[in-house]
Each structure stands twice: as C-alpha cells, then as structure tokens.
C-alpha cells in the first residue's frame, strides 16, 4: 500500500526536516485567454509610479544609456520628472552625455544632480562643468571600464532608466521594434545591458508597447521591474549626428587612404583578421579603402567590432566580414541589420571591452583605427578635453580597443585650424602611449618605437615613416607657440583607467 494518504506522515516529516510547509489545497486557475491576459502586465505603470515603486531615494544612483545619441529623450524626460518629484543629490550615471543633455545644467544648479559618471560630455553642459559648475568632479570611464565597474560594484546602480524602441508588458525589450507601430530604432542596446543586469531596479521606457513575447530580446523581462510607455524615447534620425559623419573632406580621405595602407602592410591583414573603427570621419572612411584591398586579395575578416556602421554592414552582406559584433549601432542601416541578421550580434559593454573579462571581444581584436583630439610625442592620446581645456568629447572605447588590439592606429590631422593635434604632452591622458602603435597624419606616419618590426614592414611597403617629434615640431613651426591655458585649481573631472585605477584629473578653466 502506497497512497498519498499513507505517505502524509512522511511528507509532513520531510517538510519539517527541511523547514518547509506542506503543500496545501489547490492553485487558482486563471482562464482568461493569454492574448488578453498578457496585454497588460502588472509591470506597466506611469513614470511617476515607476519611480515611486523603485524606492528611489535622495543620494541614490540613476543610470541611462546613450544609444539614441543626439536624439535621446529619456535622460531629460526622467531627470525633469525626478526634479518635479523633489529628488535631490542624485548621482547620474549615463553611458555617455551629449549636447542634447544641456537641460541637466539647470538640474545641477538646483541640486537634483550632484554627481555624474559618464564616458563623455559635449556642448554647453561640458563647457559649464569645465568652468566648475559642479562641486564633485565628474567621473569619466571608458565603455569597457564602465561595464567592469558596474559588474564589480565600483559603480553601483540603484535604478536604471533604459529607453527601448519596443518592449512587451513583461519588460522584454529591444533597440528596435518588429511591430507596425514602431516609432524609433537605435539598434544595439549594448551599453544598457550591464545596467539591466546589475541595477537594483530596472525601468524600461518604450514608445512601442508590443504584445508578449517581444523576442528575440536584448533585455530579458527577468531583469525588468517596470515598463513605462512614453510618446518618444528618441529621435532615430539623430543617431548618426555627433561624432559620426561620412566624410567628404579631402584631408580625411587622404588620412583614410594612409591608414588603409598601414593596415594592409602591417602583417595583420590576413585571412580571418578582425577589425574595429572609431567614430571619426577618417577612421570610418578607411574601411572603404580596406574593402577594395580585401576584394583584390581575396581576404575575408572574421568579425568587425564595436560601433557598427553602414559600411561594415555592406561588407558583411558582401561576404567580406563574416560576423558583426555590435555594442552600439552607429547609424540606422546598422540598427536595421542588427534587427534582421542573426550573424549581427548584440553584445553588452562587458562582452565588448571589459578589461577583466577574458572573453571580451576586444581581446580577440587584431586591428583598431581610432581618432584623437591630441597625440603627444610619447604616443599618449587625448579624446576628451579640447586644446582649449574644455571638455568636448568622450572616452568611448578608445583605451579599451587600443589596449587590447594587436595593432592600434590613431588617425588625426596635424592641425585642426590653428589647433595642433601632435603635441609635447596631451592636455588629458586618456589612452596610454604604451597601447598606441601607429599615428597617421597627412605629414607622415609615426610608429611607436616599441614596434620596430612594424616600422620595418611599413617602410618596406614604401610608406613615409617619420619621427613623432618631427610631426610635433612641424605643427609648432606653422602655428607658433601657444600660450598656456588658464587652468584653475579645482578638479572638475577624474579619468578612470579601464582597470579601475585613476588615470588623470581635469582641472577647471578660468576665463
């Protein structure tokens, strides 16, 4: 005899031993058709309700992503609401901030935001901060560095507010939408994925609430606490504004041609190589020239990494690049490709470029082409602070990719107007010279003395290799001696290296 009745004593005994209850009674069955039931989930609330439900308090950290770049509407919308609700002393941790975030100036003055962590700052917000707007210095991290900091707790996020172009009522969210009501598209949500994974509370803001299940998803419902429907999360037409531009500038094209020659003759241009380009005009244009060479020589790349562009997508579709690994879609073509092409993979900032993740993609990267505001004679690079001492850029993945790649190439003109790009010492140290291999200018190519074998290969190919000091001297001979910048004594920014150490500080500018 072995019935449930007879086993009851043993069941109770087992439960008692485990400190658990014995199963009692029955489970209520909901018989509503699931197409109806899933239309409204318990997670769908207004922005104000979501903020209240997260338990956000003064002094906490709120985070955002910048995948809509110049078209972003989420940061301003949410911070305005937080201000209206009376929050103070918040730490704003965005993957980056740009011109469009100028309204933050007022929220900083009002004490709503008293601390900022970001990859970069641009426009009037950057200008004000450079002049000492904030008491606490802004913490700058690379994209990989931010991923690491979020994962290891250096950057703890209390509440993440993440814009998504589609989400279902459970919170499955994407940077694109498959519905006919799609209002926006930003492609990869790579910089938002660490936030979604590690933040205590996650609020998805979307302008297209779709039926469950919104799969394949970028952000899983299991990481999402609340879903807020808004009119617009971002203007997709502005994704490729800011740093991204398709150059028609003849000097940029010349630089791109030179960079392509460096790559082709570097020894790394062979079957199965991998490549990433930065957001500067010349580095994007270099891809076009490499393409022709790949066709001529029958060489295919295994993957292209990083900010993925229409050029990369085209080469992928032509079969020249096998896979695309995308932490950020630089234009709409890339965003659409991410949506429809399974070989175009979305990755988080950690999988992209974390220093401490052996599997992060940058560790498998052969070649990266990057731009720079300044390079110095020791090959250190500055991409954050202008030569006028005012913050005007972003670290991005610069030190991550330069540090991890087998070959890093910096492409920059010798002069921008009267501003020299090759200098004695960079205004701010962002990417250490030890990770930079080649500097391409229109006046010649400099190879880091650490890489004599590379210099030899390039010289053999007939490229004009010059000493980086001669580039610096040449710039000085054209522009004259610059007067020192009027820096004050206040630290307005701290630059974190990707390993979590402090790399440099930025001082305020006094007019």
Partner 1 sequence: MEIKNAIAGTLESGDILIQIAPAENDGLAIDLDSTVAYQFGEQIKRVITETLTGLGVTRAQVKATDKGALDCTIRARVTAAAVRATGKDVWAD
Cβ at position 127, least distance to partner 1 in Å? 13
Work out whether 485 is an interface residue with partner 1 (CB under 8 A): yes
Contact present, 150 and 119 (Cβ < 8 Å): no
Work out whether 299 is an interface residue with partner 1 (CB under 8 A): no
Contact present, 200 and 172 (Cβ < 8 Å): no
Cβ at position 477, least distance to partner 1 in Å? 11
Work out whether 387 is an interface residue with partner 1 (CB under 8 A): yes
Chosen residue from 230, 299, 406, 419 binding partner 1 by CB under 8 A: 419
Cβ at position 253, least distance to partner 1 in Å? 17
The CA distance from 220 to 214, in Å, is 9
Chosen residue from 299, 406, 465, 479 binding partner 1 by CB under 8 A: 479
Q: What DSSP element (H or E) covers 51?
A: helix 47-54
Chosen residue from 106, 318, 388, 424 binding partner 1 by CB under 8 A: 388
Cβ at position 415, least distance to partner 1 in Å? 8
The CA distance from 487 to 443, in Å, is 31
User: Is the Cβ of residue 14 or residue 510 nearer to partner 1 in the bound state?
Assistant: 510
Chosen residue from 59, 111, 216, 486 binding partner 1 by CB under 8 A: 486
The CA distance from 494 to 231, in Å, is 36
Distances (CA, A) of 72 to 65, 204, 212, 283, 418: 9, 14, 26, 25, 33
Cβ at position 234, least distance to partner 1 in Å? 29
Pinpoint the alpha helices (H) of 373-424. 398-404
Work out whether 483 is an interface residue with partner 1 (CB under 8 A): yes
Work out whether 371 is an interface residue with partner 1 (CB under 8 A): no
Chosen residue from 131, 178, 416, 476 binding partner 1 by CB under 8 A: 416
User: Is the Cβ of residue 182 or residue 254 nearer to partner 1 in the bound state?
Assistant: 254
The CA distance from 374 to 359, in Å, is 31
Work out whether 182 is an interface residue with partner 1 (CB under 8 A): no
Cβ at position 423, least distance to partner 1 in Å? 11
Distances (CA, A) of 370 to 284, 367, 405: 9, 10, 12
Q: Residue 370: phi, psi to the nearest 5? A: -130, 155
User: Is the Cβ of residue 7 or residue 418 nearer to partner 1 in the bound state?
Assistant: 418
Beta bridge partner(s), residue 204: 162, 227
Chosen residue from 8, 15, 16, 482 binding partner 1 by CB under 8 A: 482
The CA distance from 440 to 448, in Å, is 11
Chain residues in the site for partner 1 (CB under 8 A): 387-389, 415-419, 478-483, 485-486
């Amino acid at each position: 005899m072995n019935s449930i009745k007879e086993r009851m004593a043993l069941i109770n005994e087992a439960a008692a031993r485990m400190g658990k209850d014995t199963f009692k009674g029955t489970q209520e069955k909901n018989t509503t058709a699931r197409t109806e039931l899933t239309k409204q989930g318990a997670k769908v609330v207004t922005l104000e309700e979501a903020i209240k439900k997260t338990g956000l308090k003064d002094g906490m950290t709120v985070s955002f992503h910048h995948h809509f770049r110049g078209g972003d509407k989420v940061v301003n919308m949410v911070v305005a609401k937080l201000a209206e609700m009376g929050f103070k002393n918040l730490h704003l941790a965005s993957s980056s901030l740009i011109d469009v975030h100028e309204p933050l100036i007022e929220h900083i003055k009002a004490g709503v935001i008293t601390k900022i962590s970001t990859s970069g700052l641009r426009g009037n917000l950057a200008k004000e901060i450079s002049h000492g707007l904030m008491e606490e210095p802004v913490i700058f991290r690379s994209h990989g560095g931010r991923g690491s900091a979020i994962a290891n707790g250096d950057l703890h996020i209390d509440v993440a507010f993440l814009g998504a172009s589609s989400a279902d009522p459970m919170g499955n969210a994407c940077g694109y939408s498959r519905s006919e009501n799609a209002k926006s598209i930003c492609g990869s949500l790579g910089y938002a994925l660490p936030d979604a994974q590690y933040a205590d509370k996650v609020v998805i803001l979307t302008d297209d609430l779709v039926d469950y299940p919104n799969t394949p998803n970028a952000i899983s419902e299991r990481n999402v606490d609340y879903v807020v429907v808004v009119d617009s999360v971002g203007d997709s037409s502005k994704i490729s504004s800011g740093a991204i531009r398709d150059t028609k500038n003849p000097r940029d094209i010349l630089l791109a041609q030179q960079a392509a020659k460096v790559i082709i003759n570097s020894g790394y241009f062979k079957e199965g190589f991998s490549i990433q380009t930065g957001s500067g005009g010349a580095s994007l244009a270099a891809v076009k020239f490499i393409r022709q060479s790949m066709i001529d020589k029958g060489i295919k790349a295994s993957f292209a990494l990083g900010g993925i562009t229409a050029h990369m997508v085209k080469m992928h579709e032509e079969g020249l690049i096998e896979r695309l690994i995308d932490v950020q879609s630089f234009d709409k073509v890339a965003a659409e490709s991410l949506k429809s092409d399974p070989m175009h993979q979305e990755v988080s900032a950690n999988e992209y470029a974390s220093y401490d993740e052996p599997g992060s993609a940058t560790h498998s990267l052969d070649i990266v082409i990057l731009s720079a505001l300044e390079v110095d004679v020791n090959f250190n690079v500055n991409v954050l602070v202008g030569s006028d001492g005012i913050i005007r850029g972003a670290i991005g993945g610069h030190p991550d990719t330069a540090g991890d790649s087998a070959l890093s190439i910096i492409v920059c003109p010798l002069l921008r107007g009267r501003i020299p790009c090759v200098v004695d010492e960079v205004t701010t140290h962002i990417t250490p010279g030890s990770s930079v291999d080649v500097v391409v200018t229109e006046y010649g190519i400099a190879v880091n003395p650490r890489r004599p074998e590379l210099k030899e290969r390039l010289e053999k190919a007939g490229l004009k290799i010059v000493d980086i000091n001669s580039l610096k001297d040449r710039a000085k001979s054209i522009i004259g001696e610059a007067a020192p910048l009027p820096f004050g004594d206040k630290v307005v920014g701290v630059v974190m290296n990707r390993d979590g150490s402090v790399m440099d500080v930025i001082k305020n500018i006094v007019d």
